[in-house]
Amino acid sequence: MSDSRARTGTYRDALGRLTAAQKPPARSSPAYSRYVNRRIGRYIAAAAYRLGLTPNAVTAISGVITFASIALLIIFPPSWGLGIAVAVGLLLGYAFDSADGQVSRLTGTSSPAGEWLDHMVDSLKASAMPVALAIGFYRFEVVPVPWLLVPLAFAIVSAVLFFSMILTEQLRRQRGIVSLASETPGRLPSWLRAVAVAPMDYGVLCLTFVFLGALPVFLAVYTVIFAATTLFLMLSSAKWFLELRALPAQSAQNPTAQNPTTQTRTVTP
């Protein structure tokens, strides 16, 4: 899963190349993911590049750290120590998740298999985290049983949201639609938008586990994040459905349906 030889150049050279090749952040990217995680991922990517790690190896490391952290929620009762360990582990796994794509761009080794692997890990952790939380709370009997419906419902919402975002983007691409999800180069990113979508920020969700030592606080914050994510899914699903319904049906006889470069439109995410 790693090259036998480290790449040429210094760590600083790799970091500089990554900075220059950094793609614009998605316009809807929340604050932590945009301003913190991408930067940490860049440092990790530069180190991974120097060590000769492949993008898939970085993805695998991300998965191991993430799922080990999630397993802690089942094994140990809620406490300050557990919360800090889980939060740090999840955030580190998230940083490696950001790094794999950056290593791919740096080495020019992007592949459908690598993208598939990355999405598989992301989809699994989206559902595994709330399910593990529910199992752990049930095992140690630390919350009223009815509240366990919150993380269980969150698992469903997370899976549907992840799938709908991926599917919508693929359907757009099939019809030659270029999403306006990225910031316009040269323009400052929207701080207001980044802060407004903070409840849907995976990094913020990871940070909430720090409050496992103050369980009432954690339950309140986690429930608010679940409600905000559910509302976002409902509103976004309605918007995406209306957008896709307005698109022309794809025809096997229509060459533009199979070749997105021949007909391009732009839409907002």
User: Looking at residue 93, which CATH number applies to its domain?
Assistant: 1.20.120.1760
Q: H helices of 175-268, where?
A: 191-196, 202-208, 215-245, 255-258
So what's the pLDDT on residue 155? Answer: 97
- Examine residue 263 and state whether it is found in any structural domain, yes or no: no
- Examine residue 82 and state whether it is found in any structural domain, yes or no: yes
So what's the pLDDT on residue 129? Answer: 97
Q: Which residues contact 164 (CB under 8 A, 6 or more apart)?
A: 233, 236, 237, 240
Divide the 269 residues of the chain into consecutive groups of 10 and give the mean pLDDT of each group: 55 80 64 85 91 94 98 98 98 95 85 91 96 98 97 97 91 74 50 65 94 97 95 93 84 48 44
So what's the pLDDT on residue 263? Answer: 45
So what's the pLDDT on residue 19? Answer: 74
Residue with tokens 């190349």: 17
Residue 65 parent element (H or E): helix 55-75
- Examine residue 251 and state whether it is found in any structural domain, yes or no: no
- Examine residue 174 and state whether it is found in any structural domain, yes or no: yes
So what's the pLDDT on residue 186? Answer: 47
Tally of structural domains, the chain: 1
| Residue 237 domain boundaries | 11-182+191-246
Residue 81 parent element (H or E): helix 80-107
Residues 99 and 44 sit within 8 Å (Cβ to Cβ): yes
- Examine residue 165 and state whether it is found in any structural domain, yes or no: yes
So what's the pLDDT on residue 1? Answer: 43
Closest CA to 177 of 247, 100, 115, 119: 247
So what's the pLDDT on residue 266? Answer: 41
So what's the pLDDT on residue 125? Answer: 96
So what's the pLDDT on residue 258? Answer: 46
So what's the pLDDT on residue 262? Answer: 42
- Examine residue 262 and state whether it is found in any structural domain, yes or no: no
So what's the pLDDT on residue 44? Answer: 94
